[in-house]
Structure 1
Amino acid sequence: MDTNERLVARFGELMTYPQLAELLKRSITGLRYSMSKQDSEFSKELLVARVKLGHRVYFRTDQVAEIVDRGRA
């Protein structure tokens, strides 16, 4: 089972901020802060995976898996 399949089985197709923070072993506040900076390659890649549905923000699990596989997380 590859990373994408494991993450989709655990989190579903879309991940929330708390789920992403748990996966990356970061605090939610720290993750939000690094996402707001947009000056690192890591935050730029995560912004591509971001999806807004109304006021909620999600991240595409398949794209997060690609980032994790490349070792950027």
Structure 2
Amino acid sequence: MTTEELILTNNGGSPLLSITQVAEIFHRSPEGLRITLSGDNELARQLKPCRVKIGRRVYFRVAGIAQFIDQA
């Protein structure tokens, strides 16, 4: 089972994750992850291409998150 499949099965099969779900994957608080992503650091640079904005909400692609985890 790949990392992407594992994330999809644990989060209901949706190809997009909310910031709360991503924070849970990285074992951080949602507020801490927001602050980290707003800065100029390695994590923010890696996750920015995975980001999708729908209206005012921010989501992250599962494929991009899985790829980041696999590279680490």
Gaps of 5+ in 1: none
**Could you state the TM-score of these two structures normalised by the residue count of structure 1?**
0.90
CA drift of 1:9 comes to 1.6
Rounded Cα–Cα distance in structure 1 between residues aligned with 2:43 and 2:26: 12
Rounded Cα–Cα distance in structure 1 between residues aligned with 2:43 and 2:23: 13
Aligned partner of 1:27 among 14, 26, 29: 29
Q: Is the 8 A contact 1:17 1:58 kept in 2?
A: yes
**Could you state the TM-score of these two structures normalised by the residue count of structure 2?**
0.92
Rounded Cα–Cα distance in structure 2 between residues aligned with 1:44 and 1:23: 18
CA drift of 1:65 comes to 0.3
Question: What is the percentage of aligned positions where both structures have the same residue?
Answer: 39
Rounded Cα–Cα distance in structure 1 between residues aligned with 2:25 and 2:52: 18
Match of 2:6 in 1: 6
Q: Is the 8 A contact 1:21 1:31 kept in 2?
A: yes
Rounded Cα–Cα distance in structure 1 between residues aligned with 2:54 and 2:19: 13
Are residue 60 (structure 1) and residue 58 (structure 2) matched?
A: no
CA drift of 1:59 comes to 0.1
CA drift of 1:22 comes to 0.4
